[in-house]
């Protein structure tokens, strides 16, 4: 239903046999090649999902062909009803199960693998292609946030404004008078040695004054 609604924005042009060139109603839109015999579209959405895309539906309407005939049988309602046509028998609670002398069947023990666990799924090789003409699984292609064009991002965009870094005024620094340097005191070659009085003061313990604390009467 969604692809049928989107097909009205695409205009097919017949080329040969059942090959069409589908273009958007706007002049600046993209163009795709459509082959109904091989069930292929250059947007690759039909080949990934298995359901005809809006370009294919527009070509089918031009050729007076029912789009539902190109939908695989496993996506139809009759296949879903046939899968659940049999009776699903009920099962009693585990308290009413028959007890046997055999040991209970338990699930295998969980083994913690070394390293940090991965959260992202492992992608297929055909999902890692970076060709701009092929559609990704999500159906979205990244664009530049400045010029809204494909093929680059805002870091390498030619329309990105230049960043002017602030520079320190060199003239202001040169105009300030330099402070006269003070003569340094001559340093003695040998470090000063402690006297006898300082050694005696350090050896005696330091007495601390007691704080006057008044206690409240009960």
pTM: 0.38
Q: Has residue 18 been placed in a domain?
A: yes
- Neighbour-count burial of 23, counting CB atoms closer than 10 A to its CB (0-12 exposed, 13-18 middle, 19+ buried): middle
- The distance of Cα 92 from the centroid of its chain, to the nearest Å, equals 46
Range of the domain at 41: 2-79
Residue 88 belongs to some domain of the structure: no
Of the candidates 59, 68, 65, which has an alpha carbon nearest to the alpha carbon of residue 11? 59
Let me know if residue 22 belongs to a domain: yes
Is 217 part of a structural domain of the chain?
Answer: no
Total of domains in the chain: 1
Contacts of residue 202, defined as CB under 8 A and 6 or more positions apart, other chains included, come to: none
Helices marked H in 157-209: 170-175, 196-203
User: What pLDDT tens digit does each residue of the chain (218 aa) get?
Assistant: 678 888 888 888 888 888 888 888 876 667 888 888 888 888 888 888 888 888 888 888 888 888 888 888 888 888 888 888 888 888 899 889 888 899 888 999 988 889 988 888 887 777 765 555 444 545 567 788 888 888 888 888 888 887 777 666 555 455 555 555 555 555 555 656 656 655 555 555 666 676 677 666 65
Q: 143: how many CB neighbours lie within 10 A of its CB?
A: 14
């Amino acid at each position: 239903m969604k692809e049928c609604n989107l097909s009205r924005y695409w205009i097919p042009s017949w080329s040969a046999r059942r090959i069409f060139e589908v273009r958007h109603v706007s002049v600046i839109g993209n163009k795709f090649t459509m082959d109904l015999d091989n069930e292929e579209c250059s947007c690759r959405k039909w080949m990934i999902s298995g359901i005809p895309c809006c370009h294919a539906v527009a070509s089918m309407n031009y050729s007076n062909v029912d789009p539902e005939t190109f939908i695989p049988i496993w996506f139809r309602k009759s296949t879903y009803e046939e899968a659940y046509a049999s009776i699903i028998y009920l099962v009693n609670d585990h308290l009413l199960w028959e007890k046997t002398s055999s040991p209970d069947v338990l699930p295998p023990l969980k083994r913690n693998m070394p390293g940090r666990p991965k959260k992202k799924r492992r992608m297929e090789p055909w999902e890692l292609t970076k060709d701009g003409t092929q559609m990704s699984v999500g159906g979205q292609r990244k664009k530049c946030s400045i010029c809204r064009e494909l093929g680059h991002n805002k870091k390498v965009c030619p329309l990105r404004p230049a960043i002017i870094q602030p520079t320190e005024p060199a003239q202001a620094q040169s105009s300030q008078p330099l402070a006269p340097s003070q003569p340094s005191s001559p340093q003695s070659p040998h470090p000063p040695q402690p006297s006898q009085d300082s050694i005696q003061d350090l050896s005696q313990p330091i007495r601390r004054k007691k704080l006057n604390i008044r206690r409240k009467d009960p």
